[in-house]
Structure formats: C-alpha cells, structure tokens
C-alpha cells in the first residue's frame, strides 16, 4: 500500500512579516465600519497597517524596518 | 503574427528555412550569429512556435527535428551565460531552515536601478510609451511560460501554482485575464495591442528576458528555476506596479493602463506570498535538491531586469 497523504490546507494564513491570506469570498468591515468585498479567490489583507490600499495588502510591509512588521 | 525581422545572418537563414517548411526541408547548416541580438531573435522565434506561432510558418515547424537542432545550441549558450552570471554574483544568499525568509531577504538585498521609480517621478510620455512597447512582448503572453511547469510538479506545489495561475488567467472571466487587461491598456494609451506587435523594436535585454522564461518553462529539468523566476517576479511587482500606475496618472495617460498596474498591486501582494511560501516552499519539501535552481531562476529574473533598466535609463539620459 502506498500512503496517499492528506495535505494541511488553511483558509486563513498569517504570513510572517507580511499579510493575512484569506481564501474564499468574504466581506471585511474595516476599523471605520466600512465594508469591503473580496474580488479574488485569495486575498491579502494588510497587517502592518501601512498599506495605501487598506484593508488590502500592497506590499508596503517590505519597506518597513523589521521591528515594525507583523510577526 | 508574422515572423519578426531578422537581425543578422543566422536569423535571416533560419527564418527563410521556417517559411519554406513543409515544402522544403530545413537547411542542415546555418551561418553563425554575428552578434547576440541575431542569436536572441532566432531563439525567440523558435520558441514562439510553441506559443501562438506565425502566420507565415507551417505549424509542423514546432517539432521539426532540424529546427530543434538549431534551437538546442542557442539554448545551451543562453543557459550557460545565465548560470555564469549567477555564479559570479557577488553576495551569496543565506541558506537557513526558513526558505521564505531567505528568499525575501535575497530579493530585498538586490538593489538594481528601478524603471518603475523613474516612471513614477520623472519619465515623459514618450519614455512611458517606449517602456510599454517593450513590456508588451511579455505582458501579451503573461503567465504562459509558467503554465508549462504545471504537469511537472508534485501535488501541493501544483495546487498552489494553479491557485496563482487561475488569478492570472482571470478566474474564468476572459475580461480579467491579465494579458487581456494589458491589451486594453495598450489600445487606450494609443499603442498596438496585437500579440507580438513590437518585437522588431525591442533590444537584446527584452529578448533575453523572454527567452529565459521560455527556456525555463519548456525544460522540465529547469522547473525549479522557472518557479524561482516566478517568485522573484511576483516579489518585485506590487510596489513597482503602484509606482508605474502613479507615473501614468501623473502624465494624464489612459486610466485603463493605470488600471492594469493597479490590479497588479493587489494581485501580486497575494501572488508573492503564494509563489514563495506555497509554490516554491512545497516544491522544496518534496524535491530539496532543486533549491539551487530556484535561486538561479530568481537571480536571473532580477539580473535581467537590472540589465534592462541600465540600458533604458542610459538611452533616456537619466542620471545615475
């Protein structure tokens, strides 16, 4: 018998130093109460709080000093 | 698309052979390339037979053994050149147990000159149009070279690559296919959007970028390099895309073209995570011996973009 594995696969992924990946269709309420609907199958949500496109990630975390990036 | 203009004796002879198929067999010998552009446009055209082909070349040319015999030494030469550049790269990358952190660090440490930053703040309209013409050779077949890698991957890496590619190809909606968004942007900004429209205008650096992606995509042996290239491409896309979009807006150029780059700000913030952590990470979990090739592909992506930036900024007279 060959072992056919089951792979771990999360719907919400916290990327070290980076965004939160969200799989599937979601509506996000931001801190000011505004609603944002996801438009793609996998979405990156800002965790560093510096994105110009919040609530979405725009890669800005890569410009921050390490101590300001999310764990 | 018709065959491009030859750029020397080799491409002139090979293109003539291609047009003559299948009536006449391909010549057994061809002249030597007289300069790198001659070899590069020949290889580019031979690779194109596996994408959309040419209106003036019979479809059987793709697998003609004599044309493959012309292609092979050109590929060996290209791969040898790319590997030599990688081997002479001054700052070797760190290898720890955390591949994703190492990979993002390698990309962050690579500080070549940025075309996007120049477009954001200084470029004039003609320079932006120049850049878009050059980019069109790849963006009109965006993601296609990577699609060839799919059947060569173990399960988890394959699923992750398809998750990314599904987005590149519009999640089932042809209007959102990235190459289509770029075509719409080209038309809106007053450029031609036909596939391959500007191949005759592009410099060696663009041909090398495109040939490197085809080489890595077409050879199963180079699957690690293809995915390393993809990961580096995605990891250097979000912020530059925002700069390009801002530059296009600054000049008051077509919003449809800015929209293409805006789409890539958000999309590639997702894709870089998928490409590094899931696609390359899962491949390495099964085939750890591909680590060096992943880095070779990544470096090649960054290095070829540096070479293009140097060439274009010098041509535009931009200060160093």
Per residue in B159-196, pLDDT tens?
A: 999 999 999 999 999 999 999 999 999 999 999 999 99
Give the range of the structural domain holding residue B40, as residue numbers without chain letter: 9-86
In 3D space, the residue among B36, B2, B34, B7 whose CA is nearest the CA of residue B18 turns out to be B2
**B198-to-A52, B81, B121, B304 alpha-carbon distances in Å:** 34, 25, 26, 19
Per residue in B54-93, pLDDT tens?
A: 999 999 999 999 999 999 999 999 999 999 999 887 566 6
B282 membership: H or E segment, kind and range: helix B281-286
Q: How far is A9 from chain B (nearest CA, A)?
A: 9
Domain termination residue (choose one: B33, B52, B86): B86
Helix ranges, B88-154 (H): 99-109, 115-121, 125-139, 144-147
Task: Count the alpha carbons within 13 Å of A51 in the hemisphere toward its beta carbon.
Answer: 21
Per residue in B23-41, pLDDT tens?
A: 998 888 889 999 999 999 9
In 3D space, the residue among B224, B227, B214 whose CA is nearest the CA of residue B50 turns out to be B214
Domain termination residue (choose one: B86, B101, B132): B86
pLDDT of residue A2: 86
Read out DSSP for B166-181?
A: HHHBGGG-GGGBHHHH
Per residue in B189-247, pLDDT tens?
A: 999 999 999 999 999 999 999 999 999 999 999 999 999 999 999 999 999 999 999 99
B31 shares its domain with B103: no
For residues A1 and A62, which has the higher predicted lDDT (pLDDT)? A62
What gap in Å lies between CA B129 and CA B120, rounded to an integer? 13
Q: Tell whether A44 lies on the interface with B, counting CB pairs under 8 A.
A: yes
Confidence grade of residue A68 (pLDDT, cut at 50, 70, 90) = confident
B113 shares its domain with B144: yes
Domain termination residue (choose one: B86, B116, B143): B86
In contact, B9 and B39? CB cutoff 8 Å:
no
B198 shares its domain with B123: yes
pLDDT of residue B91: 61
User: Where residue B159 sits, what CATH number does that domain have?
Assistant: 1.20.910.10
**A64 → chain B, closest CA residue:** B108
Q: Which residues of chain B does A43 touch, with a Cβ-Cβ cutoff of 8 Å?
A: 266, 270
**Domain assignment of residue B3, yes or no:** no
8 Å CB contact of B104 and A17: yes
**B286-to-B153, B167, B277 alpha-carbon distances in Å:** 9, 25, 14
Indicate the average pLDDT of chain B: 95
Q: Which residues of chain B does A15 touch, with a Cβ-Cβ cutoff of 8 Å?
A: 273, 277
**Domain assignment of residue B139, yes or no:** yes
Assign 3-class secondary structure to A10-70: CCEEECCCCCEEEECCCEEECCCCCEEECCCCEEEECCCCCCCCCCECCCHHHHCCHHHCC
B134 shares its domain with B256: yes
8 Å CB contact of B238 and A58: yes
B273 shares its domain with B201: yes
Confidence grade of residue B112 (pLDDT, cut at 50, 70, 90) = confident
For chain A, give every domain's residue range.
Answer: 13-68
**Domain assignment of residue B320, yes or no:** no
**Domain assignment of residue B1, yes or no:** no
Inter-axis angle of helices B204-218 and B125-139, to 10 degrees? 20
**Domain assignment of residue B172, yes or no:** yes
B82 shares its domain with B100: no
Give me the percent of chain B exceeding a pLDDT of 70.
98
Give Cβ neighbours of residue B114 (< 8 Å, ≥ 6 apart). Answer: B240, B243, B309
Q: How far is B15 from chain A (nearest CA, A)?
A: 43
């Amino acid at each position: 018998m060959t072992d056919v594995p089951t792979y771990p696969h999360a719907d919400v992924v916290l990327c070290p130093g980076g965004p939160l990946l969200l799989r599937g269709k979601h509506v996000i309420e931001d801190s000011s109460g505004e609603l944002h609907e996801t438009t793609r199958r996998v979405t990156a949500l800002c965790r560093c709080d510096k994105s110009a496109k919040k609530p979405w990630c725009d890669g800005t975390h890569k410009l921050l000093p390490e101590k300001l990036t999310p764990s | 698309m018709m065959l491009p203009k030859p750029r020397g004796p080799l491409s002139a002879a090979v293109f003539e052979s291609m047009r003559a198929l299948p009536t006449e067999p391909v010549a057994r010998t061809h002249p030597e390339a007289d300069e790198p552009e001659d070899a590069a446009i020949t290889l580019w055209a031979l690779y194109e037979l596996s994408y959309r082909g040419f209106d003036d070349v019979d479809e059987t040319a793709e697998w003609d053994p004599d044309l493959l015999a012309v292609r092979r030494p050109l590929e060996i030469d290209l791969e040898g050149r790319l590997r030599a550049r990688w081997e002479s790269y001054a700052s070797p990358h760190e290898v720890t147990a955390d591949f994703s952190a190492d990979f993002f660090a390698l990309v962050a440490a690579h500080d070549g000159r940025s075309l996007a930053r120049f477009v954001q703040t200084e470029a004039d309209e003609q320079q932006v149009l120049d850049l878009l013409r050059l980019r069109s050779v790849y963006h009109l077949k965006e993601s296609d070279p990577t699609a060839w890698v799919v059947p060569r991957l173990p399960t988890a890496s394959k699923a992750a690559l398809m998750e990314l590619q599904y987005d590149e190809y519009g999640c089932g909606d042809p209007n959102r296919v990235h190459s289509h968004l770029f075509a719409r942007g080209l038309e809106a900004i007053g450029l031609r959007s036909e596939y391959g429209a500007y191949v005759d205008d592009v410099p060696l650096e663009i041909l090398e970028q495109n040939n490197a992606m085809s080489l890595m995509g077409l050879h199963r042996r180079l699957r690690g390099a293809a995915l390393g290239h993809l990961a580096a491409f995605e990891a250097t896309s979000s912020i530059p895309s925002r700069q390009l979009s801002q530059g296009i807006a600054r000049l008051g150029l077509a919003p449809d073209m800015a929209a293409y780059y805006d789409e890539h700000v958000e999309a590639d913030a997702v894709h870089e995570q998928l490409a590094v952590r899931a696609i390359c990470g899962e491949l390495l979990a099964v085939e750890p011996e591909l680590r060096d090739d992943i880095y070779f592909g990544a470096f090649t992506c960054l290095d070829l973009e540096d070479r293009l930036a140097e060439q274009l900024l010098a041509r535009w007279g931009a200060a160093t």
